[in-house]
Amino acid sequence: MTKKIDYEAIQKTFEDTIKYFNFEECQKIMTATNWTWFDSNGKAPTKESMMNCLRELFRCALEDLEESAITSVSSGGFKIIVSRSGKVYISFGKHSNGAEG
């Protein structure tokens, strides 16, 4: 029997993780490399846009947890890894942050 997934605990871990993620460093990297998103008007995306991207990636990762013990989703330079055990890992280039629930 598969252990029930504690989505509430995983959500809290995700929110704690993005709270301490260094979005300013991501913006610096994107600005230095002229990296933009299609909807960022030729500039590095805002912190809010990056947080929205991560929330969408997290939502997709949660859907995949029904099928796998660990799932990974990436887009826009971000990668998020989520496990049924409550671990959440977010990375952008060389910058990363992770936590356990």
- The answer to whether residue 39 is domain-embedded is yes
Range of the domain at 86: 7-100
* CA angle (49, 50, 56) in 5-degree steps: 90
- The answer to whether residue 2 is domain-embedded is no
Q: Summarize pLDDT for 42-97 with one digit per residue, the tens.
A: 888 999 999 999 999 999 999 988 888 999 999 999 999 999 999 999 999 766 66
- The answer to whether residue 59 is domain-embedded is yes
Q: Residue 40 is encoded by which pair of tokens?
A: 């960022």
- The answer to whether residue 20 is domain-embedded is yes
Q: Summarize pLDDT for 4-44 with one digit per residue, the tens.
A: 889 999 999 999 999 999 999 998 888 898 888 887 788 88
How sure is the predictor about 1, in pLDDT bands with cuts at 50, 70 and 90? very low
Q: Is 44 exposed, middle or buried (0-12, 13-18, 19+ CB in 10 A)?
A: buried
- The answer to whether residue 57 is domain-embedded is yes
- What's the number of domains the chain is made of? 1
